[in-house]
Amino acid sequence: MISFVKHIIKKYFQILWMKSRFSPAVQVAQRQLFHFYQSGDQKHADIKLRDTGFRVFSQFEEDGKLLFIFARIGYRHGTFIDIGSDDGLNSNCANLALNFQWHGLFVDARSRSISRGKYFYTRYPNPFGDKPKFVCAKVTRENINTLIGRAGFEGEIDLLSIDIDGNDYWIWDALSIVTPRVVMIETHINFRMRDVVVPYDAEYVYPGVHPDYHGASPKAMVKLARKKGYRLIGANLLGFNFIFLKNEEGKDIFPEVSIEEVLSHPSCADDQVDPSIWSMAFETPGAGDAS
């Protein structure tokens, strides 16, 4: 009986904590910040993307950086696709969905996560509002465009987030049904400045043969981005979530930055790398041209 009561109390406070993240106070504060960035006043011109991060739902400070980007370039559709979304709450897109009423698609391979997300979004933030879509599937190069098309998305969207701890590079490479203006994608910074892409494996499940041997290096991801028409404009503080902007978007606001600029955190130092991964590394100078 005592354990049941503790469980109920824990759930109650979890719900209160979650609801506090899309309370009227949080929404008003974010909209004020959005309009402050949007104003274009010359005295705001020196604000740098790296200084705008904060966390509401994202794992780190990605929420703040995305708010800054879209305040400056505007958003056209208020649409997102999040691949590797978990439950749609521990997500780079949740803040936009819950606090800015964006519409989008959450995709994850874990059925419990998808069920939890569906349950939550049917009730919050508004039971009568437009709800995001959920797809439970293991994403591969072969099915990515079909999954997104069947969910009703095609053409231009505002934001694409990919974080699947493995085939991120190959999924973005294969994606063609939508054209995101902004892409946030996980790179594997343990590969540092080497041009490394771990070979595609449709059956890959993290951690695979080694927890540090997966994904693509920052250099390889930047080459892929350039092939697809994007430039690197920043990353999260720890450097692994790279942010790319479509080349024709915001050229005067967000210049291209170097990989070295976004890998400045102490955790990115070479002495933090497990040397055993180099014996497994699949290096290919033309990784960005891979198909």
Q: Give the residue extent of every domain in the chain.
A: 2-289
**The domain at 2-289 falls in which architecture?**
3-Layer(aba) Sandwich (3.40)
Predicted pLDDT of residue 15:
52
What is the pTM assigned to this prediction?
0.87
φ/ψ of residue 76, rounded to 5: -95, -35
pLDDT class of 139 with cuts at 50, 70, 90: very high
- Tell me which residue has tokens 């009423």: 101
Q: Which region, left, alpha or beta, applies to residue 61 given φ > 0 means left and ψ of -120 to 50 means alpha?
A: alpha
Task: Convert the pLDDT of each residue in 209-237 to its tens digit.
Answer: 767 778 899 999 999 999 999 999 999 98
How far is the C-alpha of 52 from the C-alpha of 62, rounded, in Å? 9
Say which residues have a Cβ less than 8 Å from residue 92's Cβ, sequence separation at least 6.
Answer: 58, 59, 62, 63, 66, 82, 159, 161, 163, 184, 241
